Homo-oligomer: A and B are copies of this chain.
Amino acid sequence: MSEPTEPTVLTPMLEAARTASLALAGATTLQKNAALQAIADALRQNVPAIVEANELDRTHGRENGLAAGLLDRLMLDESRIEALASAVTAISGLTDPVGEVVTGSSLPNGVKISQVRVPFGVVGAIYEARPNVTVDIAALALKSGNAAVLRGGSAAENSNRVLVGLIQQALASVGLPAESVQTIDPFGREGAALLMKARGYVDVLIPRGSANLINTVVAESKVPVIETGAGVVHVFLDESANAQWAEDIVHNSKVQRPSVCNALETLLVHEKAADRLLGPVLGRLAASGVTIHGDERVQAAFPGAVPATEDDWSTEYMSLDLAVRVVGSLDEAMEHIRRYSTRHTESIITSDVVNAERFLNEVDAAAVMVNASTRFTDGGEFGFGAEVGISTQKLHARGPMGLPELTSTKWIVRGMGQVRV
């Protein structure tokens, strides 16, 4: 038996989540979709209450000196609430992963086995100052048949309380347990610590937010974690790189949305391509406001570059900054990537088929690319519909995750009295 023996302040909520998860596991797709539609309606019908609670959080945030970026992430207005409601409706339109038969066979003795997708049970989430994640994770968990226990952080506590209240009313209105979605924000940091220890109650824990938060959860959690980690993402311009592709892909990978995990952070350039490519590629970046942190050869070739330090090679800037290094060979590029990569996304720009295949085979990352923008590592781009996150771990899920990654499987075995011989 895996049940924890010592009750904590969270135990009643965790018990309720587990009971709710049994009802959700048995709910039909139609019931779950009705709940999601009720949630979307409730969001649209309660904009003033959400905005009011959110303004309280933002006032506290300003008083506590929350950074402007965090205050912006915290903010919910009518258009953001409408976007959230639309996202919930979109999730209701996705294929339900529960019940999918993954594989199956008939054993030699006639026993039929099939492996079917089932919900995890209870999904925990820990994140900070992002009330939109409350709605997002709740909707993804519900669609995949899981109960959700959410720790959204004190900075968004009032927003989260109102949002979870609306979600619970919507659930009850369609006959599903209100406790399918709960917030543990009132228990503060102690609640988060207990959630990480709730083995036997919580089947999987998803941290969302800063590298610091994710690392803490990974290090401290006794519950299995799906790590959606940082991206120190590289592009390597090989000797034979097509100049236009190099320019377009580097610019798109760095500039299109610098604050996300699939954005480019370090550019590696083959020394035999440096004279040809550094000028146009870095010039186009600089024109878009990118600061180049270059090694000595980059500084010589591109006078606007500032000197790169050792720290630059392992930094996820998430800003209009780019580390740039000249390397002597494909092997030296791959060695650099092995050393500094967070194994998220790596791309080579090359016209040489052998180098392309070597890079695809030998580089160890969730996504390895040839002649494509690193920004393609994304659930939406990959056609998954939902964005559950991008896993940088190797167990269970790797790369962009869709709804099936929020499920487990079980084996269904049907016999007619067979025994093992």
Contacts and interface: CB of A to CB of B under 8 A. Distances in A.
B105 A383 contact: yes
Interface stretch (A177-185, A275-283, A365-373): A365-373
Interface string A95-132: 00000000001010001010100101100000000000
Interface in A392-409: 393-396, 398-400, 408-409
A364 B411 CA distance: 10
Given A362-B22, A420-B252, A395 B396 contact: yes
A317 to B, nearest CB: 15
A197 B113 CA distance: 38
A120 B378 CA distance: 22
> Chain A interface secondary structure, helix, strand, loop or mixed?
mixed
Contacts of A105: 382-383
Contact of A394 (B204, B222, B416): B204
A191 interface: no
Contacts of A381: 107, 420
A232 B1 CA distance: 8
Interface residues of A, number: 76
A377 B373 CA distance: 45
A22 B381 CA distance: 30
Contact of A398 (B2, B362, B365, B408): B408
Contact of A395 (B395, B399, B416): B395
A203 B392 CA distance: 12
A419 interface: yes
Nearest to A262: B420
Interface in A115-158: 115, 118, 120-121
B373 A419 contact: yes
A419 B185 CA distance: 40
Contacts of A376: 107, 111, 113, 413, 415, 418, 420
The CB with the most chain B CB atoms within 10 A, among A256, A362, A373, is that of A373
A367 B413 contact: yes
Contacts of A25: 362, 364
Interface in A379-395: 381-383, 393-395
Contacts of A242: 417
Nearest to A257: B420
A278 B418 CA distance: 20
Contacts of A226: 395
Interface stretch (A43-51, A69-77, A159-167, A243-251): A243-251
28 contacts: A2-B343, A25-B364, A26-B361, A105-B382, A121-B364, A203-B394, A204-B394, A204-B395, A219-B222, A242-B417, A245-B417, A251-B419, A256-B419, A360-B412, A360-B414, A367-B410, A368-B412, A368-B413, A369-B412, A370-B413, A370-B415, A371-B415, A371-B416, A377-B411, A382-B411, A394-B408, A395-B408, A399-B411
Interface of A: 1-2, 22, 25-26, 105, 107, 111, 113, 115, 118, 120-121, 203-204, 219, 222, 224, 226, 232, 242, 244-245, 248-249, 251-253, 256, 314, 339-343, 347, 360-362, 364-373, 375-378, 381-383, 393-396, 398-400, 408-420
